[in-house]
Structure formats: structure tokens, C-alpha cells
Structure 1
Amino acid sequence: MIRRLIGTASLAACAAFAARDAWKLLKKYPPGGAELWERQNHRGETLTLLEGPAYTLGSAAAVLIAPGVPARTKAAAVVATLGSGVFGAVDDLRETGKSKGLRGHLGELARGHVTTGGLKVLGIGATGLVAALLVPSRRELGDAGAVVRGLSRTTDTLISGAVVAGSANLMNLFDLRPGRAIKVMLLFAPAVAAPEKAGNLVAVVCGAGAGLLPYDLAEKAMLGDTGANAAGALLGTAAVSGLDRKGQLAVLAVVGGLTLASEKISFTKVIANTPVLRELDQLGRRPAQ
């Protein structure tokens, strides 16, 4: 057990260094120029979105060296991370349309308007399904007929794909204040005690986030859709790799419930009105002005 924890901690440290190295490289050679990635934060100050690509590339690289993770699961994790990051970057850099939230983007698609937000919804959905197809199924059907096995596999793929895509979308909803989304990632740190393949993927999520947290808290950078979507998708992949259908349905219910709730209530207001959450949210941040 101690040996495994040391290995997991080492993997998290590798993910942190990989994300920080990617950050330094991207800062030195920003794709398209530094101004392309500059945005104003909630204070009206300028920061960069390059933290998102740094997180995406760093965590994907760490997945490839994660011990105890089957090759197909690694492929699924890399596809989910890079795919969600790419579609998030499209929305970060080329945002069109005024609709916000999942309902707004789906509404635009229903009216035949393909915005960058709508493209992201479709792209991350497709990415989730591809990742779900790659993760080995945990459902055993014994001597069940071919039709039953086929239907069961299809159901599992749809559920797993929804968990990956839903998790990607949900993580993005927390990236509204410095450090908040990364702190949400770190809340999953106890899950490193899960089955090795799932636990090691969670270690990558947390390690890469921890490596970039100082820049986020200092309000020099933010994850944006690129990094938040990538982190959520990787967490979703960890969930589907370690849980059976019932477990995945439970995760999907929580993810779906929080996503629907976000259409009606503000997470920021809930956090501000809840003392424990407010203190955790403010931890390490600059004082409000």
C-alpha cells in the first residue's frame, strides 16, 4: 500500500512538472501570439488563457507514462483530454453567439445556428463516445447471446460517453474565479486510492492542476474552456475506467443534476453564501477589492 502511494505521488509530481514545463514553453512561444490568448478577468485585469493548453498537454503526457493503466485506457484518456481541450480552445479563441450554458448552446443548435459553443458541445460529446469505446468494458455477460451483448455494450458506451462529456462540461462551470476549478479537481485526491488505473488517472488530474495552481491564484492565467474541459474529461475517463454501470449511472446523475441546477442558480452565489465553501474558495487568492 505504501509503495503504491509513493508511486501515485510520484506520478502526480510528474504531471505537475509536465504541466509547468508546458506552461513555460507556451509562454515563451505562444501559438498565434500572446495577444490571441489574453482576456480580462472578473476584476477587469488582463491575464492569459495559455494555462489551459499547458494543463491539457501536460496531463496528456503524464497519462502516457502512468503505470498500471492498460493501453486502451491510456488511449481513451488521451483522446478525452486532447479532444475536449481542442474543442474548448475553439470556443476560447473563436467564440461566436451570445448564448451561455448548455441549454443556450443546444437551443442555438436546435434553431440551426452552429456557434462555437454548440460546436464544442457536439465535439466533446463525440470525443466522450470515442473515449468510451476505447475503455475496456467492465460488464460481464457470460454466455448471453450476441444481440444481448451488443445492446449491452451500446448502452454501456452511451452511459460512459455521457459521463466523460458531462464531466468535461461541469468542470468548466467552476472556472469563474481564480483557483476554483483546480480546487474542485483536488477534492478528488482521495480517489487515488481507487483501483490502480482509475486512481492513477486521478493523480494526473490533481498533479497537473496543482502544478499550475500558483499561476491561477496569482491571477496571471486561467484554465479557460481549454483546460477545464480537458480536466473534466480526464476525470470522467477515470470514473468510467473504475466503475461498473451502476457506479457510472450514479456519477451521471450527480453530474446531470449539477449541470441542470447551474441553469437556474449561480454556483458563485451559493459559494459566497456558504461559509465553509467561501473560505475554501478564497484560500490563497488576492483579497477582494
Structure 2
Amino acid sequence: MINRTSRTTSFALAAALTRATAAALRVKAPGGRAHWERTNYVGRTVELYAGPASALAAAVGAARIRPAAGLAVAAAGVCGAYDDVAGDDRRGFRAHLRALRDGEVTSGAVKLFGISGAGLVAGALLKERPLDKVLAGIVIAGAAHFVNLVDVRPGRAAGAVLVLAAPGLLRKGPGAELAAVAVGAAAAVLPDDLGERVMIGDAGAHALGAVLGAAVVAANGRAGLAAHAAAVVAAAVCGDRVSEAARSLV
């Protein structure tokens, strides 16, 4: 009963904070309303408020349970927000690493190193043994990247988080509570995302992915960490190849 109450509280707080923050940003619209609008893949104007709102809720919710997880989620959201504002059309890790080799620090490189570094720091704080620390860092950063990777159509990223985090609700302990945070924040933005009224952008996608990864880390031992680390690395490699192929056709 205590664990169920904790999960419910984590879910409710994440969902409520996401909705409240989005509403507050919509009223205030820092920098002007145009600053918070984008054109989606079909040319429809959508709002970006849901991105920082879900990122803030995920970070606060995660920090209540595991401060190290909150740190990683916050860093993922901030790096994603920077890419939302300063990003360019380059896709794939190799494209950004090539630019870095030529002396240009792209927003993608900031995301790559910022989120990876924060994931490794969080992993080091969440686990005790050296190998587990590294695996945990890979899972958190890799999950953040994976959710952003699937954010190609309305509702894809938030929907993926709901599907992947839901089984974690059946567990006990901090892993279940972190999964509830991910589900709460994702559920709060999904209706408007599917309705093409908002988009969560890189800020929301990376933050939701990071809290999903933190839930996996908190709930798994070495074998589970290794399996999830292999999965997110494979997804990153596959996604990078797809991005390179798409770039070659342009």
C-alpha cells in the first residue's frame, strides 16, 4: 500500500506540475509568443510550452526520489532546450562530431557531451560498483537520446515513454516511483501533442527519456543494466545510420 501511494503521488505531482507550468508559460510567454511557436511537419503552428514544462516536472519529480536522477534529467532538459533554440539541420552524431573536428561547436555536440556527462555522473551516484556506474550512465544518456530519436511525429515520444515506463510501475521501490514520474509527465502532454497543438521538442523528449533511463537504472542489477545499455547503443547506431542515409539523399 505504501509503495502504491508513493507511485500515485509521483504520477500526480509530475502530471500536475507539467500542466501548471505549461499554463503559466502560455500566460507569460517569456520573450513573446512567437518565440514559443514552431511549424510542424505538415505546416501547422504548434506551441513549445509543453517541452520545458514536462522537463521541469520530470526533473523535480525525479529529484524527490533520487537527487542524482533529478540532476541528469535537468541537464538533459537544459541541453535539449538549447538545441530547440540554437539547433541547425544537421542530424546524427557523426555530423556533429565532424563539425567539432573542424572547430565548430554545434548544439548537437552540446547535447551529446552534456547529456552523456550528466548521465555518467548520475550513474556514478546511483550505483556502487565501477562497471555498474558506467552501465547506468549509458542507460540514462542512451534513453534520453532514444526518446528524442523517435520524436518524429506528434505523440511518438510521449507515447513511447508511456509504453516503456508502464511495466516499471509493477515493480517496487524507487524504480517504480521514477517510472511513475515519467508516466505522469508524458501523460500530461500526450493529448495536446497528439492533437498537434503542442510539441515537446528536444527539451521534453530528452528529459522524459532521461527519467525513463533513471527508472531502469534504479530497478535493475548488472544483467538488466547491460541488456538495456546494449539496446540503447544499438538504437543510437541505427538512428545515426538512418540520419546519414537521409542526409545523403538531400
TM-score (norm 1): 0.78
Q: Distance in 2 between matches of 1:116 and 1:11?
A: 32
Tell me the CA shift for residue 40 of structure 1.
0.6
Tell me the CA shift for residue 82 of structure 1.
0.8
Tell me the CA shift for residue 131 of structure 1.
1.1
1:261 to 232, 238, 244: 238
Tell me the CA shift for residue 202 of structure 1.
0.5
Q: Distance in 1 between matches of 2:143 and 2:62?
A: 18
Worse-matched range after superposition: 46-55 or 6-15 = 6-15
Q: Give the match for residue 76 of structure 1.
A: 68
C-alpha RMSD over aligned residues: 1.8
Do structure 1's residue 109 and structure 2's residue 100 form an aligned pair?
yes
Do structure 1's residue 120 and structure 2's residue 111 form an aligned pair?
yes
1:174-222 Cα offsets, whole Å, 9 max, x none, are 1111111111011121211223101100100011110111211121111
Question: For 2:43, what is the secondary structure of its paired residue?
Answer: coil
Instruction: Give runs of aligned pairs for residues 83-162 of structure 1, distance below 5 A.
Output: 83-96=75-88, 98-137=89-128, 139=129, 153=130, 155-162=131-138
Q: Distance in 2 between matches of 1:3 and 1:157?
A: 29
The amino acid that maps onto 1:232 is G
1:237-281 Cα offsets, whole Å, 9 max, x none, are 112222222211110111111222223448xxxxxxxxxxxxxxx
Do structure 1's residue 8 and structure 2's residue 10 form an aligned pair?
no
CA contact (8 A) 1:20 1:58 kept: no
Q: Distance in 1 between matches of 2:183 and 2:123?
A: 22
Tell me the CA shift for residue 235 of structure 1.
1.1
1:122-148 Cα offsets, whole Å, 9 max, x none, are 1111111221122142x4xxxxxxxxx
* Alignment CA distance shift 1:64-1:118 (3 Å): closer
2:221 to 244, 257, 270: 244
* Alignment CA distance shift 1:104-1:217 (3 Å): same
Q: Distance in 2 between matches of 1:189 and 1:95?
A: 32
CA contact (8 A) 1:99 1:108 kept: no
The amino acid that maps onto 2:177 is N
Tell me the CA shift for residue 64 of structure 1.
4.2
Structure 2 segments unaligned to the other structure (5+ residues) = 244-250
Question: For 2:151, what is the secondary structure of its paired residue?
Answer: coil
Q: Distance in 1 between matches of 2:24 and 2:110?
A: 28
Tell me the CA shift for residue 6 of structure 1.
4.4
* Alignment CA distance shift 1:64-1:163 (3 Å): closer
> Which structure has the bigger radius of gyration?
1
The amino acid that maps onto 1:173 is L
Q: Give the match for residue 51 of structure 1.
A: 50
Q: Distance in 2 between matches of 1:259 and 1:129?
A: 17
1:44-102 Cα offsets, whole Å, 9 max, x none, are 1111222110001112222344xxx4xxxx21111111100001011100114x42022
The amino acid that maps onto 2:81 is A
Tell me the CA shift for residue 14 of structure 1.
2.1
Q: How many residues align?
A: 242
Tell me the CA shift for residue 3 of structure 1.
5.2
Q: Give the match for residue 182 of structure 1.
A: 158
* Alignment CA distance shift 1:7-1:119 (3 Å): closer
Q: Distance in 1 between matches of 2:127 and 2:16?
A: 29
The amino acid that maps onto 1:245 is R
Instruction: Give runs of aligned pairs for residues 58-73 of structure 1, distance below 5 A.
Output: 58-65=57-64, 69=65
Question: For 2:58, what is the secondary structure of its paired residue?
Answer: helix
Q: Distance in 2 between matches of 1:110 and 1:167?
A: 26
* Alignment CA distance shift 1:195-1:102 (3 Å): farther
The amino acid that maps onto 1:131 is A
Q: Give the match for residue 141 of structure 2.
A: 165
